[in-house]
């Protein structure tokens, strides 16, 4: 297989040819672009939104032309595979400590104590016997909450291990995938609650280069709530509807209400926290979340293969504890772009349109010029910290701040509704005839949360 001929530096005149492995909001956005045309060619394309499997198996076989763009870096898994993320975060912190850059090293205290099992099983057992508490076990190769369980006794691990062919300290052998790898992670037992319910945040960051590292943070995102009130009672330890916020799990809860939903916009959450704790506390929290995004990417930067053809949209999952401290849970290389409701459609289509403006396949911007604000994205790192935004502000992070793109997209939705493309998106998208206004989504409050927003 081969791409465009080597030596080509300019795209031929004519429409931009695009491919997409997915039939959801990215497909809708690409299909709506003027002078962009879909192609089925495996090599003759200008822009390709590929799935991770294609990247792993096909990308290194291609010789891409200068102008071709694709949506994953070759070894994105250094950031997005759970065990490698932990390894890279620990390595970055230890390196800073060796260099006696202790203030910087302290900025990496945002991930829970974690062990990779089976290779670190004995160390995990020593820590568990010393400190006890509730822990969570996660398979590294699964998503949407699959295979995750909580435990507070080693006997519960013994029951689980009988179903897995591994031994403590065992490492995969050459030519053998070995036992399934899990993370044993200290559970955050004191999460910040709204209306008695646990939640996590989905935040979007766009990387257009790893050398220099260039990061854009999207202002919008959402908080995902559990369906049931939080509890650490013994009988609730195994109740996934209490502890796991994944939509794929919560939508099967006995009393799940699809019309009510279980999401807030991050803007609504920021308003809630500002009302409850003050503007300074909210600003410090969202600055700390932004620092997590930056520090995680700095940790993997030395290991990443930079490729000028690549960019990547990451979905960060972050939790907040009762002291308003944020914790990194994981990073996703393929955050879901399927719209589960109208607010989802508005957020994701606007974000993807802004992403395409940043990638700039049409060449609208001057070469080398990087704007500080592009739609809902703010440039937060460009080979170093970005100290200002496109207008004077005292806020250390624009995450959760007003994004006029949401209002513009709402007008489009009310006028036309989302484009119907493919079975996957058709089953998830809202009906244009009965849209739920964003004010309704923002004012949703888990039971007993009051009316602070």
Given the candidates 3.30.470.20, 3.20.20.80, 1.10.1760.20, 3.40.50.300, the CATH classification of the domain at 1-111+198-236+249-453 is 3.30.470.20
> How does residue 4 score in pLDDT terms, banded at 50, 70 and 90?
very low
pLDDT at 406: 56
**Phi, psi torsion values for 409, nearest 5 degrees:** -65, -35
pLDDT tens for 233-266 read 887 777 777 788 777 676 666 676 666 668 899 9
pLDDT at 279: 93
> Token pair of 186, please?
């200290």
Question: Which residues, 6 or more positions from 443, have their beta carbon under 8 angstroms from its beta carbon?
Answer: 268, 453
**What are the angstrom distances between the C-alpha of 235 and each of 111, 232, 249, 259, 269?**
27, 8, 19, 29, 30
Average pLDDT over all residues of the chain: 81
pLDDT tens for 126-161 read 999 999 999 999 888 777 667 788 888 888 887 666
- CATH 3.30.1490.20 in the chain is located at 113-187
Spatial separation of the C-alpha atoms in residues 361 and 358, rounded to whole Å: 9
State what percent of residues in the chain have pLDDT above 70. 77
- Is residue 215 scored above 80 in pLDDT? yes
Pairing, β 69-70 against β 114-117: unpaired
pTM of the predicted structure, to 2 decimals = 0.84
**Phi, psi torsion values for 116, nearest 5 degrees:** -95, 125
**Phi, psi torsion values for 424, nearest 5 degrees:** -60, -45
- CATH 3.30.470.20 in the chain is located at 1-111+198-236+249-453
Q: Which top CATH class is 113-187?
A: alpha beta
pLDDT at 436: 33
């Amino acid at each position: 297989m081969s791409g465009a001929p080597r030596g080509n530096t300019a795209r031929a005149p004519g429409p931009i040819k695009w491919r997409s492995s997915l039939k959801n909001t990215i497909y809708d956005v690409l299909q709506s672009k003027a002078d962009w045309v879909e192609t089925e060619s495996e090599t003759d394309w200008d822009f390709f939104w590929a799935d991770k499997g294609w990247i792993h198996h096909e990308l290194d076989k291609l010789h891409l032309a200068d102008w071709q763009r694709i949506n994953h870096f070759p070894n994105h898994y250094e950031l997005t595979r759970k065990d490698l993320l932990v390894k890279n975060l620990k390595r970055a912190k230890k390196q800073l400590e060796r260099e006696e850059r202790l203030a910087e090293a302290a900025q990496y205290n945002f991930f829970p104590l974690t062990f990779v099992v089976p290779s670190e099983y004995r160390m995990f057992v020593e820590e568990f016997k010393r400190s006890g508490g509730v822990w969570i076990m996660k398979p590294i190769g699964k998503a949407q909450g699959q295979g995750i369980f909580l435990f507070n006794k080693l006997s519960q691990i013994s029951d689980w291990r009988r179903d897995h062919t591994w031994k403590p300290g065992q490492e995969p052998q050459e030519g053998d995938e070995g036992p399934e790898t899990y993370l044993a992670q200290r559970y955050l037992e004191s999460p910040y609650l709204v209306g008695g319910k646990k939640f996590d945040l989905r935040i979007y960051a766009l990387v257009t280069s790893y050398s220099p590292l260039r990061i854009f943070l999207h202002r919008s995102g959402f908080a995902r709530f559990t369906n049931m009130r939080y509890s650490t009672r013994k009988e609730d330890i195994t109740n996934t509807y209490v502890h796991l916020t994944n939509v794929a799990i919560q939508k099967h809860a006995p009393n799940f209400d699809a019309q009510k939903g279980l999401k807030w916009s991050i803007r609504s959450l920021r308003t809630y926290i500002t009302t409850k704790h003050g503007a300074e506390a909210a600003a410090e929290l969202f600055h700390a979340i932004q620092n997590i995004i930056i520090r995680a990417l700095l940790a993997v930067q030395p290991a990443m293969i930079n490729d000028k053809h690549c960019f990547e949209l990451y979905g960060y999952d972050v939790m907040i504890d009762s002291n308003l401290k944020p914790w990194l849970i994981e990073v996703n290389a393929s955050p879901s772009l399927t719209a589960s409701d109208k607010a989802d459609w508005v957020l994701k289509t606007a974000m993807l349109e802004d992403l395409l403006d940043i990638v700039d396949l049409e060449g609208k911007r001057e070469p080398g010029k990087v704007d500080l604000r592009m739609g809902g994205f703010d440039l937060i790192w460009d080979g170093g910290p970005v100290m200002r935004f496109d207008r004077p502000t005292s806020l250390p992070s624009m995450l959760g701040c007003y994004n006029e793109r949401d209002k513009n997209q709402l007008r489009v939705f009310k006028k036309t509704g989302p484009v119907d493309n493919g079975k996957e998106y058709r089953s998830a998208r809202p009906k244009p005839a009965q849209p739920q206004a964003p004010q309704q989504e923002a004012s949703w409050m888990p039971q007993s949360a009051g009316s602070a927003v």
